C-alpha cells in the first residue's frame, strides 16, 4: 500500500513573516499518520521554515537544485546545501522551470541524479502542454520526459522517487484534469516505470497529480487508483484549503485498487 504524499509548492511567494505564519497554521491541522505532507518554500525561507517544522510530521522540500556540489555557479544551490537547510524533498523539472528557464530533459536527468546521490527525495515533474494533448501527443511527451529523467537510473532505488504528473494546461489555470484523464496518465507512467525500473519500483512509486488541485476537487482526483497524492501550488498557500486536501488524501487510503 503506497502512502499518499501531499506537497505544497509555494513558488515565489511569502516573506519570512508570511511563511512563518503559514507554517504555524499548518502544524497540527495538516499532520496525519496516513499521509506524508511536505512544504516547499522559496530558498530564502527554507531555514526558517525548517526550524519551525522541527518536531512536526511535515517535511521540508526545495523547489529546485543544481547538480554540482560547489563552485562558481552564481545563483545556484547545491544538494548538500539543501540537506544542510533541513530539506528532505526537492522538486525537479517543474514546468515553470522548463518554460521560463529553459530546463531540458538532460538537465532534469542531472538534477535527479544529484538528488539521488545526496539522499534527497526527488519530486520529478512531467506533463504535456495543451497543444500536445490536443494533438494526441500526451503519451509521447510523457515518454520523452521520463526517458530523459531516468536515462541513468541503473542502481537507483527508483521506488523512492516521486513523479508528479502535472499537465501544463492545468497548472495555475483553475482547470484541472478530469479524474479519468489523471488516472489514464498515471497508469501510463506506472507502466513505463515498470518496464524501465522493474515491477517492484513501479508498485512502490508514488505518482502525484498536480494542476489546480483545490479543496473542492482533491477527493475525486485522489480516489483514482494510481493517484498517490498531490503537488499543490496556489491552494497550498491557504492553510484551510491545504488541510482539506491532506484530509482528502488520508481518506483516499481506503480506496479499492483493482489492478486487472
Ligand atoms: C504546481 O505549482 O505544481 C501547481 C500544480 O500549481 P497549481 O496547483 O497552482 O496549479
Q: How sure is the predictor about 93, in pLDDT bands with cuts at 50, 70 and 90?
A: very high
The whole-number average pLDDT for the span 67-77 is 98
171 C-beta closer than 6 A to ligand 1:
yes
Provide the pLDDT for residue 227.
Answer: 98
The pLDDT of residue 161 is above 50: yes
The residues pairing with 230 across neighbouring beta strands, listed in sequence order, are 6, 209
Q: Which domain holds residue 128?
A: 5-254
What's the domain count of the chain?
1
Provide the pLDDT for residue 260.
Answer: 44
The minimum-distance atom of ligand 1 relative to the CA of 212 is 10
Separation of CA 12 and ligand 1 centre (Å)? 12
The whole-number average pLDDT for the span 240-253 is 96
Out of 94, 96, 128, 186, which one is annotated catalytic?
Answer: 94
Helix (H, G, I), strand (E, B) or coil at 128: coil
The pLDDT of residue 257 is above 70: no
Confirm whether 259 is domain-assigned.
no
CATH number at residue 221: 3.20.20.70
Active site residue 166: yes
210 C-beta closer than 6 A to ligand 1:
yes
Mean pLDDT of the chain, nearest integer: 96
Indicate if the alpha-carbon torsion angle 3, 230, 50, 61 is positive or negative.
Answer: positive
The whole-number average pLDDT for the span 191-219 is 97
Spell out the residues 6+ positions from residue 118 whose beta carbon is closer than 8 angstroms to its own. Answer: 79, 80, 82, 83
Provide the pLDDT for residue 259.
Answer: 54
The minimum-distance atom of ligand 1 relative to the CA of 9 is 2
The whole-number average pLDDT for the span 84-93 is 98
Out of 36, 96, 128, 166, which one is annotated catalytic?
Answer: 166
The pLDDT of residue 254 is above 90: no
The whole-number average pLDDT for the span 82-97 is 98
Are 149 and 108 in contact by the 8 Å Cβ rule? The answer is: yes
The pLDDT of residue 237 is above 90: yes
pTM: 0.97
Confirm whether 82 is domain-assigned.
yes
The whole-number average pLDDT for the span 117-125 is 98
The whole-number average pLDDT for the span 239-247 is 97
pLDDT digits over 182-204, tens only?
999 999 999 999 999 999 999 99
Confirm whether 260 is domain-assigned.
no
Confirm whether 68 is domain-assigned.
yes
What CA–CA distance (Å, rounded) separates 70 from 55? Answer: 30
Active site residue 13: no
Residue nearest to atom 7 of ligand 1 (CA): 233
Amino acid at each position: 500500500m503506497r502512502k499518499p504524499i501531499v506537497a505544497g509548492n509555494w513558488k515565489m511567494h511569502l516573506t519570512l513573516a508570511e511563511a512563518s505564519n503559514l507554517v504555524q497554521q499548518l502544524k497540527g491541522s495538516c499532520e496525519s499518520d496516513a499521509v506524508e505532507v511536505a512544504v516547499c518554500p522559496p530558498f530564502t525561507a527554507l531555514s526558517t521554515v525548517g526550524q519551525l517544522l522541527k518536531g512536526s510530521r511535515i517535511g521540508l522540500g526545495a523547489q529546485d537544485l543544481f547538480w554540482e556540489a560547489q563552485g562558481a555557479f552564481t545563483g545556484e544551490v547545491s544538494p548538500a546545501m539543501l540537506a544542510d537547510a533541513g530539506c528532505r524533498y526537492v522538486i525537479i523539472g517543474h514546468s515553470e522551470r522548463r518554460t521560463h528557464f529553459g530546463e531540458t530533459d538532460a538537465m532534469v536527468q542531472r538534477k535527479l541524479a544529484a538528488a539521488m546521490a545526496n539522499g534527497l527525495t526527488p519530486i520529478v515533474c512531467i506533463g504535456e502542454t495543451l497543444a500536445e494533448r490536443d494533438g494526441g501527443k500526451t503519451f509521447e511527451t510523457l515518454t520523452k520526459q521520463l526517458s530523459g529523467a531516468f536515462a541513468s537510473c541503473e542502481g537507483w532505488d527508483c521506488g523512492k522517487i516521486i513523479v508528479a504528473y502535472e499537465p501544463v494546461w492545468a497548472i495555475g489555470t483553475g482547470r484541472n484534469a478530469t479524474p479519468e484523464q489523471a488516472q489514464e496518465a498515471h497508469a501510463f507512467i506506472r507502466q513505463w516505470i515498470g518496464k524501465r525500473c522493474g515491477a517492484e519500483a513501479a508498485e512502490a512509486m508514488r505518482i502525484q497529480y498536480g494542476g489546480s488541485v483545490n479543496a473542492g476537487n482533491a477527493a475525486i482526483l485522489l480516489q483514482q487508483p494510481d493517484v498517490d497524492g498531490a503537488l499543490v501550488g496556489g491552494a497550498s498557500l491557504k492553510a484551510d484549503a491545504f488541510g482539506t486536501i491532506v484530509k482528502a488524501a488520508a481518506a483516499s487510503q481506503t480506496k479499492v485498487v483493482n489492478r486487472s
